[in-house]
Amino acid sequence: MQISMVSGVAAILSVLSSFLAEKFLVHASVLGGFLRLTLSHNPDIAFSIGLPYPFKEILIACALLAVLVLAFRSKHSALSSLAFGLIIGGAIANLIDRVPDGVVTDFIAVGTFPVFNIADACITVGAGMLLMESLVHKKE
């Protein structure tokens, strides 16, 4: 599986979902309110961590550059290629979302966890997959 293909699909789905949430979502409760779809605009980075300008922009650029270097530096398993694709696609989608107004459109709320979007989910799932793979290979 190619990293570029996965990252493209993840980015497109993430940007499209944020666009649709921005245009049509007001508020919806699912699973007795445990899962909520609610529109939120986040000027901060992961888990709503606020950093002053220009540290936020520098951190985002450095993190994306580090992931790109790791992703394209050597051969990977199918799992790690998928994981890197999800991380890169999610990061690109959040950058695309952030450019026009400096905020990211979040719309998924689960329990008391901070509101997030599909791009955030891609980044988190991808990072978790890389962690799982590294732990499995460490045991071997």
- Each residue of 53-107: pLDDT tens digit? 788 888 888 998 999 998 888 777 899 999 999 999 999 999 999 989 989 999 9
Domain positions in the chain: 3-23+44-102+118-139
Catalytic residue among 44, 97, 101, 120: 120
44 is catalytic: no
Q: Please check the confidence at residue 140 and state whether its pLDDT lies above 70.
A: no
Report if pTM > 0.75: yes
120 is catalytic: yes
The whole-number pLDDT of residue 58 equals 86
Contact of 128 with 27, CB cutoff 8 Å = no
- Each residue of 8-29: pLDDT tens digit? 999 999 999 999 999 999 889 9
The whole-number pLDDT of residue 17 equals 97
